[in-house]
């Protein structure tokens, strides 16, 4: 099998003018060709925040996005519009069919009988089309275009026949009736209601307009009585000429309208597009910006896009913090840290970064909705967070904003309760001496007061043990549903962290295992030297607790089946359909 693959690769490379692959010392490996100059060029790319030379700015353009996303959107819209058009036309034709049944005297001539049967046939066809569009959920764009042709071709045939019959039947009475209004209505129904391109509109409306004009003049060529009326009463020639011009003018305006609507639809589509990412739904807002559910238009991969707020776009410190957050997260590869896909700036100056979309809920939402968590589950989740923190600390990064809202219980790889550590916006490099000072001048105290370590509260430089304290507060909250220090003002909470002893975790109405409570309280020592000294130590301490390993996948699956947020579950199901 491997030999066949190698032979195939050699043939491919030979066909493209490359030399054959050479085996390495390992028998199943190959040496990759030299890196291209394009790759080398990417290594020299400046940060998105770096000033762009004026001479180069014209080359930086927002990627408009390819047609698959818009085609899919148009397919759904076209199916809905065609269904509505078929229903409206069929209902209208049914009304006239029923009225025709009561007008028995009007069916005395051959032309009237033929007109009635034609009308009945077109009505049945439209009803069949409407029924098919109502019962089917998905439709290929090519099939919908065939349906579109059938609807408007059959209606055009009906109007063409009616126009001829109207003139032929009224000519013996010395006047002519030319029903032009149905033609104009049909033209504008297509132009205003059917999503299409102006080129296709020309292909559809051109024949409709031609047949409408032909139906206006054809009876005078076929029936002498019609020609006699036009000869004896020239006013009807003028009327028919004006009606023909009105039809042609309406078709021209309709095509122009289709082109305008198409441009607006494209602009609206691209307005929901950031590079190759199409924005689908707003997930939330914060001080730094917005987070949207998005989809990569080529990979069809769901993701979350964070956009910096317009009010922050001109703030160098906010932009630097935004860049620091994405760069810090991108350096981390642990599966319990949220994954970053992309980062950049659009041509109109919007800064964004793209991260994985996480089905599930953050731990604060879970506690607020369902109360304290089981001790075994808390151990299960915090052990994973410790693993993610350990990697960050090894890179010299201190998170500084660990709290339940920044820990996500996600569904990944078919497994529930996969912990994900989020929001590295306040991360600080322990090995940096000065680069962080400018970013914290807005307030030397950074973090969330309810989950802040004493050294953060006093404005000292925090290290990894500060994250241990914050994670201990988070554990306290997950086990009890409350925080150890709360007050009516942030400054009182900050002072409590620095000065007051931690209240006992176990209370009469809540019993927490003693070994787990001891680990949590060890994390909450005031002096950093008295705490567990690293994330790995905390992980090992949690592993020694009696409830460690008691939270199984089956328990997690059962909990998420019975609990959770219905709205978030619906959104997660919608995202799942995007990739299924």
For the annotated catalytic residues, the residue numbers are: 401
Which residue in the block uniquely carries the two structure tokens 């979350």?
Answer: 304
Which residue in the block uniquely carries the two structure tokens 């030379």?
Answer: 53
In this structure, what DSSP letter does residue 527 have?
S
Coil vs helix vs strand at 247: helix
Count Cα atoms within 13 angstroms, Cβ side, for 426.
Answer: 22
Q: For residues 328 and 425, what is the distance between their CA atoms, to the nearest angstrom?
A: 8
465 token code pair: 């043990």
Asked if 361 and 568 count as a contact pair (C-beta separation under 8 A), the reply is yes
Query: What is the C-alpha end-to-end distance of the chain, expressed in Å?
Result: 30
Q: For residues 477 and 578, what is the distance between their CA atoms, to the nearest angstrom?
A: 35
φ/ψ (deg, to 5) at 97: -65, -45
Q: For residues 16 and 229, what is the distance between their CA atoms, to the nearest angstrom?
A: 75
Q: For residues 406 and 427, what is the distance between their CA atoms, to the nearest angstrom?
A: 13
Contacts for 83 with CB less than 8 Å, ≥ 6 apart = 130, 133, 134
Q: For residues 204 and 201, what is the distance between their CA atoms, to the nearest angstrom?
A: 5
Q: How far is CA 257 from CA 79, 208, 262, 370, 380, in A?
A: 20, 17, 8, 54, 60
Q: How far is CA 73 from CA 141, 196, 266, 297, 490, in A?
A: 10, 12, 11, 12, 48
Asked if 545 and 516 count as a contact pair (C-beta separation under 8 A), the reply is yes
Contacts for 476 with CB less than 8 Å, ≥ 6 apart = 482, 483, 484, 502, 505, 520, 524
Which residue in the block uniquely carries the two structure tokens 């050294």?
Answer: 455
Asked if 167 and 226 count as a contact pair (C-beta separation under 8 A), the reply is yes
CA angle 106, 111, 117 (to 5 degrees): 80
> Residue 568, class by beta-carbon neighbours within 10 Å (0-12 exposed, 13-18 middle, 19+ buried)?
middle
Which of 553, 544, 554, 558 minimizes the C-alpha distance to 514? 544
Q: For residues 83 and 292, what is the distance between their CA atoms, to the nearest angstrom?
A: 31
Q: For residues 122 and 120, what is the distance between their CA atoms, to the nearest angstrom?
A: 6
């Amino acid at each position: 099998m491997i030999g066949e693959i190698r032979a195939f690769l050699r043939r491919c490379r030979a066909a493209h003018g490359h030399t054959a692959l050479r085996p390495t010392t390992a028998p199943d490996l190959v040496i990759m060709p030299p890196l291209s100059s394009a790759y080398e060029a990417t290594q020299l790319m400046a940060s998105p925040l770096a000033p762009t030379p004026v001479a180069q700015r014209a080359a930086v353009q927002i990627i408009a996005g390819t047609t698959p996303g818009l085609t899919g959107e148009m397919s759904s819209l076209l199916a809905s519009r065609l269904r509505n058009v078929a229903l409206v036309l069929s209902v209208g034709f049914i009304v006239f069919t029923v009225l025709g049944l009561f007008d028995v005297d009007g069916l005395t001539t051959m032309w009237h009988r033929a007109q009635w049967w034609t009308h009945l046939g077109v009505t049945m066809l439209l009803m069949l089309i409407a029924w098919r569009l109502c019962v089917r959920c998905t439709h290929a764009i090519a099939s919908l275009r065939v349906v579109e042709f059938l609807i408007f071709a059959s209606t055009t045939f009906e109007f063409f026949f009616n126009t001829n019959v109207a003139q032929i039947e009224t000519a013996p009475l010395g006047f002519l009736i030319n029903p032009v209004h149905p033609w104009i209505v049909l033209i504008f129904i297509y132009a205003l209601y059917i999503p299409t391109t102006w080129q296709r509109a020309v292909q559809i409306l051109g024949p409709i307009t031609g047949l409408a004009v032909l139906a206006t003049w054809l009876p005078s060529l076929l029936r002498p009585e019609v020609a006699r009326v036009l000869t004896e009463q020239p006013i009807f020639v003028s009327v028919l000429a004006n009606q023909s011009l009105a039809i042609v003018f309406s078709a021209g305006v309709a095509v122009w309208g289709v082109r305008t609507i198409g441009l607006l639809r494209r602009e609206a589509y691209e307005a929901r597009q950031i590079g190759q990412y199409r924005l689908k739904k707003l997930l939330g807002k914060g001080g730094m910006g917005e987070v949207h559910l998005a989809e990569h238009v080529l990979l069809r991969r769901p993701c979350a896009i964070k956009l910096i707020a317009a009010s922050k776009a001109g703030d160098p410190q906010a932009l630097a913090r935004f860049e620091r957050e994405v760069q810090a997260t991108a350096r981390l590869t642990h599966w319990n840290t949220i994954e970053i896909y992309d980062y950049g700036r659009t041509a109109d100056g919007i800064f964004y970064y793209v991260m994985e979309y996480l089905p599930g809920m953050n731990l604060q939402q879970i506690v607020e909705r369902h109360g304290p968590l089981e001790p075994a589950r808390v151990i299960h989740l915090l052990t994973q967070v410790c693993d993610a923190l350990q990697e960050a600390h090894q890179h010299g990064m201190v998170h500084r904003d660990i709290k339940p809202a920044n820990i996500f219980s996600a569904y990944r790889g078919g497994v529930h309760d996969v912990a994900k550590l989020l929001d590295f916006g306040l991360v600080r490099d322990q090995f940096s001496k000065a680069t962080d000072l400018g970013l914290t001048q807005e307030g030397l105290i950074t973090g969330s007061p309810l989950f802040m370590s004493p050294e953060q509260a006093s404005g000292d430089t925090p290290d990894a043990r500060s994250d241990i304290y914050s994670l201990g507060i988070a554990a306290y909250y997950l086990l009890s549903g409350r925080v150890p220090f709360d007050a009516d003002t942030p400054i009182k909470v900050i002072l409590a962290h620095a000065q007051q002893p931690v209240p006992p975790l176990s209370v009469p109405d809540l019993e927490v295992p003693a070994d787990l409570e001891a680990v949590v309280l060890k994390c909450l020592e005031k002096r950093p030297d008295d705490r567990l000294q690293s994330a790995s130590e905390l992980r090992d301490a949690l592993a020694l607790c009696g409830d460690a390993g008691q939270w199984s996948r089956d328990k997690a699956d059962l909990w998420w089946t019975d609990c959770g947020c219905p709205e978030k579950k619906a959104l997660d199901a919608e995202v799942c359909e995007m990739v299924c």
